Amino acid sequence: MKDTGIREHGGSHRPAARTAIACIVVGSLALLGPWGSGIAAAQSAGCPDAIRIGMVFPMTGREGRPGTYQVEGIRLAMELINAKGGVYVKECGKRLPFKEILYDDQSDQGRTVQLVERTMSSDNVVAVIGAYSSSLGQAQSVVPDRYQVPWISPGAGASPIYNQGRKWIFGVLAPVELLGYTTMKFLGSLVDQGKLEKGLKIAIVVENTDHGKEYVEGVNRWVKENPGAFKVVYNESFQMGGTDFSGILQRMKAANADIFLSDAHLQDYITMHRQYTQMGLRHRMVSYGARGTEEPARKALGPAADYIFAGIWWHKDLPYPQVKAFVQEHKKKYQREPDSYYPSTAYDAVRILAAAIESAGSLDRTSIRNALHKVRLTDSLLPGQTLQFQENGQAMTPFVIVQNKPGDKVDFVYPEDSRTGEVVTRIPR
């Protein structure tokens, strides 16, 4: 009995030990299970099949056309990158293709915020490219810091968006203030060359948005720095989407200015310049800020669009090989050449994001954000060929000045080293 007892005990001890060991092993496995599967999940989340990019643009509504063109630029860049296998992500040890998650905000400020929140919170995106126009960009820009997702705008240029101390926002467009300043620098260079007289009077009519305000700031900064060169005699703003500008133009006429500078979106530019011409107004030089060369405007205005000059972020005739390649690829994919800067900045937004992901070697959003602050795209399509974000997240590429010429021609007229034609400083009657 004793033996039996001992055996029983011993017998009972060994199975108990085995049971205990088994329990420990099973328990450990059970404990390790979620951890192990957690590791697997983390790897799977870290190295998905594709790099998901949220895109929120106005595809319809007031800004539908530029928004659509920007989406086309993004898609072209993604397609070309994906054709090479995608972006190399070091922590995954392989190339991953881009995958778009696109939303149309219908040019609506409220809707655009909702959609950016949605894609940042629910779509598992590593970054968001969004917003054409400064007003939609302003609305979207409050969201990225909340969700800590890098956000790149290829179409919002107003610097107040980037000067709020936000850490997760980036903009490919140089500040609109620089546009106003460059426009004046160009006019100043014409005074230096004796093509314009000193002391000419300037009338300014801009849209009452951050875009317009900043343009005026740039003009005023240059005028202040160069006293006596020009005199601003009229400065008025208007509400976007105007149907009648006769009052504002009549008052401008009374100011008797020599040069007319405006900053307007495409539809307002067309409406205003039609009325301007119909009212028989004449100035020596006319500009609508960054507008002027767009094909719909030239169709809508006919010869009245000739000699308008514009400060632009990009033009398809920039003499860089990468621009030529881009224009060819664009034509191949969409059966037309780009007629505005819209697809080019969007294209570069994808390329600089790809460069940042490669530099980060990871799909971790913070690493990508940090890399975006450091990377330089040295074959950028934009003037100067180098795209880099400043500390506030906004790019600072230079503007070039172009002037429409008869026969749908466009000449680069400033800076001097990129000049392709003579500037006309007195619009012929």
Per CB under 8 A, residues contacting another protein are 59-62, 64-65, 67-68, 107, 208, 236-239, 241-244, 246-248, 250-251, 253-254, 266-267, 270-271, 274-275, 277-280, 296-297, 299-304
CB of 101 to another protein, least distance (A): 20
Provide the 8-state DSSP code for 291.
Answer: B
Give the end-to-end CA distance of the chain in Å, rounded to a whole number: 126
The one-letter amino acid code at 350 reads V
Q: Map residue 201 onto helix, strand or coil.
A: strand
Q: Which is nearer to another protein, 121 or 246 (CB)?
A: 246
Q: Give the separation between CA 137 and CA 161, rounded to whole angstroms.
A: 7
Q: Are 134 and 156 in contact (CB under 8 A)?
A: yes
CB of 297 to another protein, least distance (A): 8
CB of 269 to another protein, least distance (A): 9
The residue among 421, 396, 416 whose CA lies nearest residue 188 is 416
Q: Which is nearer to another protein, 253 or 365 (CB)?
A: 253
Angle between helices 64-83 and 342-360 (to 10 degrees): 40
Q: Which is nearer to another protein, 57 or 222 (CB)?
A: 57
Q: Which is nearer to another protein, 255 or 396 (CB)?
A: 255
Q: Which is nearer to another protein, 226 or 275 (CB)?
A: 275
Task: Tell me how crowded residue 319 is: count the other CB atoms within 10 A of its CB.
Answer: 9
CB of 266 to another protein, least distance (A): 6
Q: Which is nearer to another protein, 69 or 222 (CB)?
A: 69
CB of 63 to another protein, least distance (A): 9
93-97 long-range CB contacts below 8 Å, 24 or more apart?
A: 94/47, 96/47, 96/48, 96/49, 96/50, 96/51, 96/363, 97/50, 97/51
The sheet carrying 98-104 orders its strands as 98-104, 51-57, 127-130, 151-153, 169-171
Q: Which is nearer to another protein, 192 or 244 (CB)?
A: 244
CB of 66 to another protein, least distance (A): 9
| Backbone phi, psi, residue 423, to 5° | -75, 140
CB of 130 to another protein, least distance (A): 17
